[in-house]
Amino acid sequence: MFDGLKDKLSGFTSDVEEDVDDDALEAEDEPDADEADGEAPADQAADAEPATDAQSSEDDTQAAAAEPTAESDQPQTGSEPPAADSEAIDEPATASSTAVEDADEVPEEASQSDDTAVTDDDSASEADSESEEDDDGGRGLAAKAKLMATGKTVIEEEDLQSHLDDLELALLSSDVEMSVANEILDGVKENLTGQTRRRLSSTGNLVRDALRESLYDVINVGQFDFDERVQQADKPVTIVFTGVNGVGKTTSIAKLAQYFEERGLSTVLANGDTYRAGANEQLEKHAENLDKKIITHEQGSDPTAVVYDAVEYAKANDIDVVLGDTAGRLHTSDDLMAQLEKIDRNIDPDMTLFVDEAVAGQDAVNRAREFNDAAEIDGAILTKADADPQGGAAISVAHVTGKPILFLGTGQDYGDLEPFDPEEIVDSLIGE
Ligand SMILES: Nc1nc2c(ncn2[C@@H]2O[C@H](COP(=O)(O)OP(=O)(O)OP(=O)(O)O)[C@@H](O)[C@H]2O)c(=O)[nH]1
């Protein structure tokens, strides 16, 4: 599942990490920088010495960054001029840099300067480094060397931008929707260069974490606890399914019937697809396989009447959930929209779920947007994720519709339905 995308994302993280390492090595190759500034190397070594109390040092540093006027014997960040004991960098500024740490944990809420992500939990000289940058508007070689000595590494912003361009291409070629790709890129850049809003546990690798957080933000949109909502709703719960023909809508309804049974909830199926010849037989086959009651009417009859009858049946027989199929005609069909509106008006379903196939990529994303615009959906099921190397639809649908993906279809068996867990998906894409 999504193997092509996984490879591309892994290419991005390793390329950036390589550049980070290269920059760090370059910095290391310039040991004379401070000496040329008239600095005693011993000063630098002393500055670079890890604090004896790493935690309190980190706290101090964060406090200093957050409150520039706070009393501290360390140089202040922000608009404060460097304190007298800060290391002077006479060297001309190199291109503006982004400092990233490639090891250790990142603090929950690292408060940092706008163009720098400096995070460290064992350094006493973070504020020194930041003030040096403020001092000369860029990070000099001495500062790079110092970052290296404190376990930090650096990447030039222009290098990062070229990686971001590669990432954009990778995302677009994996069928990620353009606005979603841009959102991911902005997120990665912000996570690498600005204040980190950490929502996932750290992998200890800042580049990978930046990408994970950014992906998580776009695919986690609108998530709610589907099981809890169904369990807590008044019974019967009515769920109506929309989506075009052939994407796996009928199969998904059958899979959900089994899913509910495994959670102690009974179901009745309703074939509201009265338009297509053979639709009754198709759903009947699933109902027979799963030993479920099914309500059908003749082809051409009113779909609302079918779902209505199923709801009545559920009330009379103490059935928990009504699963109603609808005709899979194209969303541009006024008939279809009128049909859904009529079901909405007369039955007021608890949820309308949009079903499409992950393998349809951009087409699935566009259809999700259009269906949601025409007849508001509550969530989506993406089928055939098992056959999709791209992952573009899985990443884009929630952000584009504002409604969550709730399940992935992962095969043709009834058990092949997986709740969509954004954190798990991100971990499987990026690696934990
Ligand atoms: N590999 C794979 N195949 C699936 C999945 N879900 C459904 N299919 C297959 O996709 C084909 C179409 O599924 P249907 O359930 O008939 O599709 P539908 O949307 O109901 O189609 P209509 O009834 O024509 O509207 C069937 O062969 C299913 O077995 C899935 O998650 N993975």
pLDDT at position 123 is 37
- 216 pLDDT tier (thresholds 50, 70, 90): very high
- Does the Cβ of 367 fall within 6 Å of ligand 1? no
pLDDT at position 304 is 92
pLDDT, mean of residues 175-199? 81
Percent of the chain with pLDDT over 90: 45
CA distance 154 to 157: 9
Would you state the structure tokens that stand for residue 240, as one six-digit string? Answer: 């109506």
pLDDT at position 20 is 67
The mean of the pLDDT values for the chain is 75
Question: What is the interface pTM, i.e. ipTM, of the complex?
Answer: 0.96
Best residue for ligand 1 mutational test, from 354, 383, 386, 413 (most atoms within 8 Å of Cβ): 383
pLDDT at position 52 is 39
Say what the alpha-carbon torsion angle 351, 354, 355, 358 is, to the nearest 10 degrees: -130
Please write the tens of the pLDDT for every residue from 305-355: 999 999 999 999 999 999 999 887 655 566 777 888 888 889 999 999 999
CB 205 within 8 A of CB 20: no
Q: Where are the domains of the chain?
A: 3-19+153-220, 226-419
Please write the tens of the pLDDT for every residue from 250-292: 999 999 999 999 999 999 999 988 888 788 899 999 999 999 9
pLDDT, mean of residues 390-417? 96
- Does the Cβ of 410 fall within 6 Å of ligand 1? yes
- Does the Cβ of 361 fall within 6 Å of ligand 1? no
Query: Homologous superfamily of 3-19+153-220 in CATH?
Result: SRP54, nucleotide-binding domain (1.20.120.140)
CB 300 within 8 A of CB 292: no
Please determine, for residue 80, whether its predicted confidence score (pLDDT) is greater than 80.
no
Distance 224 CA to ligand 1 centre (A): 25
CB 242 within 8 A of CB 234: no
CATH no. of 226-419:
3.40.50.300
Distance 291 CA to ligand 1 centre (A): 20
Question: Does 152 appear as a known binding residue?
Answer: no
Distance 357 CA to ligand 1 centre (A): 9
pLDDT at position 176 is 95
Please determine, for residue 108, whether its predicted confidence score (pLDDT) is greater than 70.
no
- Does the Cβ of 212 fall within 6 Å of ligand 1? no
Instruction: Read off the pTM.
Output: 0.73
Question: Does 285 appear as a known binding residue?
Answer: no
Q: How does strand 267-272 pair with strand 321-326?
A: parallel
Distance 409 CA to ligand 1 centre (A): 9
pLDDT at position 124 is 36
Please determine, for residue 171, whether its predicted confidence score (pLDDT) is greater than 60.
yes
Q: Whose CA is nearest to atom 7 of ligand 1?
A: 248
Distance 356 CA to ligand 1 centre (A): 10
Please determine, for residue 394, whether its predicted confidence score (pLDDT) is greater than 80.
yes
Q: How does strand 417-419 pair with strand 405-409?
A: antiparallel
CA distance 362 to 396: 9
